[in-house]
C-alpha cells in the first residue's frame, strides 16, 4: 500500500535550512523544485532517511496550509559517533544550543539544538 516516506519541514528561509542540513549535518540533496532559482521544495538524504524542506509560501499555495515553522512538538534525531565534537562544531557555526551534551541514562549521549526555523534537532551517540 505504501512504499516510502519522508518528514517535510516547513521553513521561512529555505536557503538557511539547506545550508544547515546539507553543509552542517552532511545530508545530500536529492531533489529540488524548481531546478533554477530559489527552490520551493528540496529533499535531502542521510543514510536511509529523507527530510523535505518546503517553504511556507509553497505550503499555502499548493496545500492551503498555514505553516508555522518551529511550532510542532517534534525533534529530528540524528546519530553521530561523537556528540561532543559534533555539538562543538555546530555551535561554533552559530547553531543555537538548547541543551549541551549530556548522558541520558539509557546508554546514549545527547545534545539538543535548533535548526534555522526553531525545530528541535537532537544529536545522539552510543556511549562506549
Residues 54-107: pLDDT tens digits? 999 988 887 787 888 877 557 788 999 999 999 999 999 999 999 999 998 778
Domain presence at residue 89: yes
Across 43-75, b (16+ Cβ under 10 Å) vs e yields bbeeeeebbbbbbbebbeeeeeeebebeeeeee
Q: Are 87 and 97 in contact (CB under 8 A)?
A: yes
Domain presence at residue 2: no
pTM for the model stands at 0.80
Residue percentage of the chain with pLDDT more than 90? 66
**Which CATH number do you get for residue 37?**
3.10.180.10
pLDDT at 122: 87
Domain presence at residue 36: yes
How many structural domains does the chain have? 1
Helix (H, G, I), strand (E, B) or coil at 20: helix
Supply the range of the domain harboring residue 54: 7-126
H or E, element range at 90? helix 83-92
Pairwise pLDDT comparison (69 vs 50), residue with the higher score: 50
Domain presence at residue 117: yes
Domain presence at residue 1: no
User: Which residue matches cell numbers 555539538?
Assistant: 87
d(CA 80, CA 93): 17
Amino acid at each position: 500500500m505504501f512504499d516510502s516516506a519522508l518528514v517535510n519541514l516547513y521553513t521561512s528561509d529555505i536557503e538557511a535550512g539547506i545550508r544547515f542540513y546539507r553543509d552542517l549535518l552532511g545530508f545530500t540533496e536529492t531533489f529540488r523544485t524548481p531546478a533554477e532559482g530559489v527552490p520551493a521544495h528540496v529533499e535531502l538524504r542521510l543514510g536511509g532517511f529523507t527530510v523535505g524542506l518546503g517553504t511556507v509560501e509553497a505550503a499555502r499555495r499548493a496545500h492551503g496550509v498555514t505553516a508555522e515553522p518551529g511550532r510542532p512538538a517534534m525533534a529530528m534525531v540524528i546519530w553521530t559517533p561523537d556528540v561532543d565534537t559534533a555539538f562543538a562544531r555546530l555551535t561554533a557555526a552559530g547553531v543555537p544550543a538548547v541543551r549541551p551534551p549530556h548522558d541520558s541514562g539509557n546508554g546514549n549521549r545527547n545534545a539538543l539544538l535548533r535548526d534555522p526555523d526553531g525545530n528541535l534537532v537532537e544529536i545522539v551517540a552510543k556511549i562506549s
